[in-house]
Amino acid sequence: MSSPGDSRRTTARRRETALFLLAVPALLLLGIIFAWPVLRLLAMSVEDGTLANFEKATLDELYLYVLFDSVKIAAMVMAICLLVAYPVAFWLSRAGRWGVALGMFALLLPFWTSVLVRTYAWLVLLGRNGVVNRWLRDAGLIDAPLPLLHNTSGVLIGMVHVLLPYMVFPIYASLLRIDPDLSRAAEGLGAPAWRSFLRVTFPLSLPGVSAGCALVFVLSLGFFITPALLGGGRVIMVSMLIEQQVREFLDWPFAAALSTVLLVATLAIYALIGRITRGARHA
């Protein structure tokens, strides 16, 4: 005699088996086309049994400089995105139906347009005789063209343009989740609007802020196309260094060591920012 508990357990086990079978093809793909090749690449860095490649990547002044420069650019992109995205997300969270529709259009259309199309457009806009410099000169604001392209400012403009939506969306989402009665209550009790924002709304939006910061930082650190095209060879990021090692020097072990450093830095920063957020949420 089987009890009803037994049959329930059998059903549950059968359900788990069926669910797992559904996942097998995708997990196989992720294993064969993602996890295994990446781990195999990382293992190449210590193929010769020494840490020589890591010493070269982290002690040689040239490579160390590129590494720091990449982190510096990623941090700058993150900071600019945060400063620009927060007011936009805040405006969106208070906007009416048409405002939200307009905002979503302006955010989503570039978001899904090829990075290449946008980079090409910036080449046209920011060049010495580009559209922006022409406008500024015609307006009498400048005498000589501003160097906007083939340097750090060009890379920053291009990267902020690509990554801004990644910052706006999480902040907007966390602002929407805040009960509007909270700030109304604060103001009803006599707090001026700026104080109710600083003490009520802003702290409650911090989960979105840190999610956006983590995403933007991590994505910028691995950026490749935009700095390659807008930096004009004067801005070198780690990803470009990795590509160069594989393409030009065929130095796979060293490229693997650089990849390992980039991946570890990416994961560490991601975990760190996640941790700060959790701390902020419990405070």
Q: Which stretch binds other proteins (CB under 8 A): 30-38, 51-59, 144-152, 273-281?
A: 30-38
Chosen residue from 193, 264, 268, 280 binding other proteins by CB under 8 A: 193
Positions in 80-139 near other proteins (CB under 8 A) = 84, 87-88, 90-92, 102-104, 106-110, 112-125, 130-131, 134
Choose among 276, 80, 67: nearest CA to 166. Answer: 80
In the complex, the smallest distance separating the C-beta of residue 31 from other proteins, rounded to whole angstroms, is: 8
25 forms part of the interface with other proteins (CB under 8 A): yes
Q: Per rule CB under 8 A, is residue 254 in the interface with other proteins? A: no
Interface positions, 35-54, toward other proteins (CB under 8 A):
35, 37-38, 40-41
We find the least distance from the C-beta atom of residue 280 to other proteins, in angstroms, to be 20
For other proteins, the closer of residues 52 and 125 by Cβ is: 125
Output 129 or 283, the one with its CB closest to other proteins. 129
Which lies closer to other proteins via its Cβ, residue 247 or residue 282?
247
Q: Which of 23, 182, 268, 280 binds other proteins (CB under 8 A)?
A: 23
Rounded to the nearest whole angstrom, what is the least distance from the CB of residue 6 to other proteins in the complex?
Answer: 18
The answer to whether the beta carbons of residues 218 and 264 sit under 8 Å apart is: no
Q: How far is CA 93 from each of CA 65, 84, 163, rounded to the nearest angstrom?
A: 41, 15, 20
Nearest Cα to Cα of residue 204 among 224, 181, 227: 181
Kindly indicate which of the ranges 33-41, 53-61, 141-149, 273-281 contains the residues binding other proteins, using the contact rule CB under 8 A.
33-41
Residue 230 engages other proteins in binding (rule: CB under 8 A): no
Q: How far is the CB of 98 from other proteins (least distance, A)?
A: 12
- Minimum CB separation of residue 36 from other proteins in Å reads 8
Shortest distance in whole angstroms from residue 160 CB to other proteins: 9
